[in-house]
Structure 1
Amino acid sequence: MSEGDVLRLKNWERAWRALPLCLLVVAALITVTDSSAPAHDRAITTALAAAVALWHWWMVMTHPDWPERALAPMAGYFAVLLVMAWVLSMRHPAYGLLVLACFPTAFATLPGGYAYLGVAATAVVVVGGPYALLDTARPWSIASALAGAVLAALIGWSIRALEAEIERRHAANRALESANQALESANLRLAQLGEENAELQGRLLTAARQTGVTGERSRLAREIHDTVAQGLAGIVTQLEAAEEAANDAEALRRRLAVARNLARENLSEVRRSLDNLRPGPLTGTTLPEALSALVSGWSAVNESPATLTVTGTARLLHPEVEVAVYRAVQEALANVARHAGARKTGVTLSYMEDVVVADIRDDGVGFTPPEAGGAGFGLTAMRQRVVRLAGDVEVESAPGQGTAISVTIPAIPAVTDQEGL
């Protein structure tokens, strides 16, 4: 419903409510100008008409929300109006206009089906009151009044049906406007969420990129430490030993040969790391075999007894798991060679149901384990590599009581070529 239709409907309602006043004024003017009646009677009639006008003004014009909503005040209003209209029409015929105005007023003020009771009561007043219905001398006047009542009822019903349809359309339009506003609000919210999502996605991409860069730097640092740094440390150790054995030609040749082999092995290891391959010792062999070669080679180079024990059923694990175990043992043995001064070292590789554990123990000088954040780079890199696989590193040591390092990693199985397809 447009604003023009709403305005016309309100004007129509105001016209219906003002109709009794208009007809009352016309009747009052006729009465005042009628000189056939005594002046005293005309004054009383005019006073009664003024009282009716005041009554209608107060009950209907100043309280437009009462009609069709409050039965009690409107029923009282209409009863008083109808009685006063009857009294005035008895005093002067001109006020029959006010009686006729009660037909539409019943529909304008009484709610629901009570309007038809008002029409029936008005029809009774039109014929002269309840007793007039029993007067058989005026059958045609009674029939005319009844016909007028029926006609008024039909007109009132039609008007109410039209108003109900208009109101229904008005309600539908209001609902449609509310739905459109809700849709616009939802679209606006979706647009805002889209902008927020785009901004959040940008932040996540930046954070992921930064995390990737940091992770790659950490990986490269671990690879360099596990290959170049340890290899160079071993070479330096052999060259220092060769310098001390300068007078012993056989020992000198042996130390130089070991240093040369270490340099070649680490050069090959660096090349493999750059190609992002598995560590050389794990290429084409199993983890127990690679650790056996590592332990025996370490024992020969450092001239210190070291043994490897394998428990459980050895099986092929995910390459990253095997690399982490191998690097952890390699780092632990390097620390034993540099710091422990151990007489013997033992490495145990345990295959369990859901984890693989590597224990490295020595009987060296021991130390007081630092906090996780204060450990050296080698132990920190070991922890980072193991934790990245949801594993754990434990260090137990005390001055003069040796050192034990335990590395536990989930035994993630290797993916076969068929499973990877």
Structure 2
Amino acid sequence: LLQAAEQSWTTDPQASREHVGTAAATARDGLDEVRRVVRDLAPADVSNVESALGQVAREAALGFPVEVRIDGTSRPVPPAVASALVRTARGALANVREHADASRAAVTLTYHADEIRLDIRDDGRGFRPANIRPDGLRGRGLRGIRERAEQLGGQAEMESAPGEGATVSVRFPLEDR
């Protein structure tokens, strides 16, 4: 765009201005996306997983509200599991923001006697889980969520259908205390 602007600088100044304006807007959008990616990759303070999930929800709520619910009795969560929960919430909410066209989302953390479960539900356009490409187009997305859960002895599930929203769930075993 900038080369096109340079070429038409003297012969068509209006076209040059339009090219420069489009280039500036594209650069701003790219910078915003890079900032989002860097923020999503930054380690979260997972010493309090509930607080960290609240922060992730506030950061993700761009254009739609994100509700956070905690069910069950809070208890200590191993740092690796807490980190996986936060990263899962970030990744799932990023997918909602980028792909779902949702009007709202909910993040629910549930403490059970022997496991902890995280559900991220949206009311967006939904998808067919069977159509998830194993190589991903731009990142690890849902495949990364599944792999992260399995590495820590947990499980990830995706439930969705076109027009029905989506739910991404992960669960990890916890030792009885």
Q: So what's the TM-score if we normalise by structure 2?
A: 0.73
Question: For 1:10-49, what aligned pairs fall within 5 Å after superposition?
Answer: none
2:122 is the alignment partner of 1:362: yes
Question: For 1:237-256, what aligned pairs fall within 5 Å after superposition?
Answer: 243=25
Query: Separation in 2 of the partners of 1:339 and 1:260?
Result: 14
Deviation at residue 265 of structure 1 after TM alignment: 6.1
Tell me if structure 2 keeps the 8 A contact 1:358–1:408. Answer: yes
Q: Give the counterpart letter for 1:363 in structure 2.
A: D
Cα deviations across residues 94-129 of structure 1 (Å, max 9, x unaligned)?
xxxxxxxxxxxxxxxxxxxxxxxxxxxxxxxxxxxx
2:47 is the alignment partner of 1:280: no
Cα deviations across residues 358-400 of structure 1 (Å, max 9, x unaligned)?
0010010001112677373211111111011111111111110
Gaps of 5+ in 1: 1-239, 245-251, 270-278, 415-421
Number of aligned residue pairs: 151
Equivalent in 73, 85, 90 of residue 313 of structure 1: 73
Residue 286 to residue 365, structure 1, CA distance change in 2 (3 Å): same
RMSD: 3.3
Tell me if structure 1 keeps the 8 A contact 2:128–2:161. Answer: yes
Query: Separation in 1 of the partners of 2:128 and 2:40?
Result: 35
Tell me if structure 1 keeps the 8 A contact 2:84–2:149. Answer: yes
* % identity of equivalent residues: 34
Question: For 1:21-420, what aligned pairs fall within 5 Å after superposition?
Answer: 243=25, 259=32, 262=35, 266=39, 269=42, 279-282=43-46, 285-299=47-61, 302-370=62-130, 374=134, 376=136, 377-412=140-175
Cα deviations across residues 235-276 of structure 1 (Å, max 9, x unaligned)?
xxxxx9x939xxxxxxx9xx9xx949947963992xxxxxxx
Residue 266 to residue 413, structure 1, CA distance change in 2 (3 Å): farther
Query: Separation in 2 of the partners of 1:373 and 1:261?
Result: 23
Higher share of residues assigned helix:
1
Q: So what's the TM-score if we normalise by structure 1?
A: 0.32
Deviation at residue 314 of structure 1 after TM alignment: 1.3
Residue 281 to residue 396, structure 1, CA distance change in 2 (3 Å): same
Tell me if structure 1 keeps the 8 A contact 2:121–2:166. Answer: yes
SS at match of 2:84: helix
Higher share of residues assigned strand:
2
Cα deviations across residues 4-49 of structure 1 (Å, max 9, x unaligned)?
xxxxxxxxxxxxxxxxxxxxxxxxxxxxxxxxxxxxxxxxxxxxxx
Cα deviations across residues 172-213 of structure 1 (Å, max 9, x unaligned)?
xxxxxxxxxxxxxxxxxxxxxxxxxxxxxxxxxxxxxxxxxx
